[in-house]
Structure 1
Amino acid sequence: MTTEEDKLMAKRGKRYEEISQKVDKTKIYTPEEALEVVFDTKSAKFVETVELAVKLGVDPRHADQQVRGTVILPHGTGKNVRVLAITSGENIQKALDAGADYAGDDEYIAKIGQGWFEFDIVIATPDMMPKLGRLGRVLGTKGLMPNPKSGTVTTDIAKTVEEFKKGKVAFKVDKLGSIHLPLGKVNFTKEAIEENFKTALKQIINLKPAAAKGQYLRTVAISLTMGPGIKIDPLLAGTFVTK
């Protein structure tokens, strides 16, 4: 289903051009400057997401240069994440009590096989992975297949559900060596976005593969859903997160 956000993204036009003038495309901003400017690029009629984009000095074609993990944003993402827990027995009620929107076993596996996707993330217990494996092609193409490296395969279903509902985000480097993460909503305070930014980028830095050579953070930028990218000096960004 096309969302209001999707429709607006297709109609950038004049408003986008006006907002773009507030960002100097020839300038590489300090993290502090970028976190100030991003709030001046509000343009949409909905509450936009502040997004982080990082280009890494890795070759994702090699298994030893994959960057994949999770991060718990201190202030969450501002989005109501719909969690589906695939589990069995008493874990079903534990997942629901922890905040899962849906929890069950064969019933939900069958629904997914029939084209049901009214959820944003799937969390599974190890005993259910053989059954979910049959849906690997369906869930994998949408980036929804549970995986231990993304923290979505767990023996502690209640804790994991609670973490993702509160703002835990899974990420993975794409084929171009980039990672994209939400940092919250534009109606967050600047302090909250800054703290989320530091936490997310620090985790990405901590996951630097030993096989990665040269400069790890190649480019760093933040933007709003409908706004232009604001380039940040990657070297300054690296030191900023340790302050």
Structure 2
Amino acid sequence: MARPRHLLAPLSRIAPPSISLPRPETARLAPSAFQSIRCAATNSAPKEKKKKKARNTYLNYDLRKADQFALVDAMQYIRAFEVGRNPSSSKYEMHVRFQCLKNSPVIRNRLRLPHPVKTDLRICVIAAPGSKAEAEARAEGATLVGEESIFQQISEGTVEFDRCICHIDSLQKLNKSGLARKLGPKGLMPSTKMGTVVTNVGSTVRDMVGGSEYRERAGVVRMAVGQLGFTPEEMQRNIKAFMDAIKKDMARISSRTVKELHEVVLSSTNSPGFTLTGEFRGEHSISPKELSGPL
């Protein structure tokens, strides 16, 4: 009997050849058009930053982080910056900053201080020649007084004065002269609202010579309140009169808008500003008498 080992070879010849099946190939995924478009959209230009809204109030700093000074201390430092200068040439200046809206009504007025700051104001008075108003204006030191002669000078472009007031009897002639286009942009056109169209010329010129005008700009009112030769007591009285006038002006417009005091700064012609605390003298302040002499 044949061994099984010998039968394996013939059987292998009879068996049909094995069929080799193709190997399954893994399909390669090509990037779709949607994917490429999506990536292009996300990686394109950066997103635009949102624009910040414009401020409707003026920027004010926190005074708790600022150094504040009593009046005597501020005057001591300011005089140190003005050493060697003529006390009558440099002036103390007040800066009153408000917390208010940008479109709020502005404060504007004229004030006669208890101790006037000497200024070389040239005042023009429009009054009829030979009238009582003309005589009063000349007696109080007005630079120019008249009607037609002043109208002609202004129309020719000659404006050699700093303030202009008009007697009420001459207002009609002034309006007919057509000088509002030349005096208005300079802030020299007389008006009833500003108190420059008057019936008593003499007292108005007198107050204007010793008075000062102030107007709010960008939320701040600035005005000269003294000369460097003033004593601390004189400065205190001037500052008090100025702040009282500011508060009255604020009370007139408080019904329409909110306007609050934020900061009061004292400076001079050649010195930086010093924020005031509202006190006359501090604990370690020098004697006010030391600030009354020459620089």
Residue number in structure 2 paired with 1:30: 70
Q: Residue 66 of structure 1 aligns to a residue in which SS?
A: coil
Q: Which amino acid aligns with 2:213?
A: A
Query: Residue 67 of structure 1 corresponds to which residue in structure 2?
Result: 107
Cα distance in 1 between the residues matched to 2:232 and 2:172: 44
RMSD: 2.4
Which residue identity is paired with 2:240? K
The alignment status of 1:86 with 2:126, answered yes or no, reads yes
Instruction: Indicate whether 1:138 and 2:178 are aligned.
Output: no
- Equivalent runs, 1:1-243 vs 2, <5 Å: 26-43=66-83, 45-46=85-86, 47-59=89-101, 61-62=103-104, 65-89=105-129, 90=131, 91-133=133-175, 134-165=178-209, 167-174=210-217, 176-208=218-250, 209-210=253-254, 211-213=256-258, 216-233=260-277, 236=278
Q: TM-score, normalised by structure 1?
A: 0.74
Query: Residues 71-121 of structure 1, C-alpha deviation per residue, up to 9 Å, x if partnerless?
Result: 111111121322111121411122101221221112112212222232221
Contact 2:136 2:202 in 1 (8 A): yes
Where in structure 1 are there 5+ consecutive unaligned residues? 1-24, 238-243
Report the CA distance shift for 1:60/1:150 in structure 2 as closer, same or farther (over 3 A).
Answer: farther
Please tell me whether the aligned partners of residues 150 and 170 of structure 1 are also in contact (alpha carbons under 8 angstroms).
no
Contact preservation (8 Å) 1:68, 1:149: no
Paired residue type of 1:223:
S
Q: Which AA in structure 1 matches 2:179?
A: L
CA contact (8 A) 1:44 1:226 kept: no
Count of aligned pairs between the two proteins = 206
Which amino acid counterpart does residue 191 of structure 1 have in structure 2?
E
Q: Structure 1's 54 and 161: CA in aligned 2 closer, same or farther, altered over 3 A?
A: same
Aligned partners of 1:232, 1:149: CA distance in 2, in Å? Answer: 33
CA contact (8 A) 2:72 2:232 kept: no
Structure 1 residue ranges, 4+ long, deviating more than 6 angstroms after superposition: none
**Identity rate, percent:** 26
What's the secondary structure of 2:118's corresponding residue? coil
| TM-superposed deviation, 1:189 | 2.5
Deviation track 1:151-205 (CA, whole Å, cap 9, x = no partner) reads: 322110011011112x12222222x122111112212223222211111111011
Where structure 2 has 5 or more consecutive residues not aligned to the other structure, the ranges are 1-64, 280-295
Q: Name the structure with the higher helix share.
A: 1
**RCO comparison, higher one (Cα < 8 Å, 6+):** 1
Q: Which amino acid aligns with 1:33?
A: D
- Larger-gyration structure (1/2): 2
Secondary structure of 2:224's counterpart equals strand
Contact 2:71/2:232 (8 A) holds in 1: no
The CA distance in 2 between the partners of 1:146 and 1:81, in whole Å, is 16
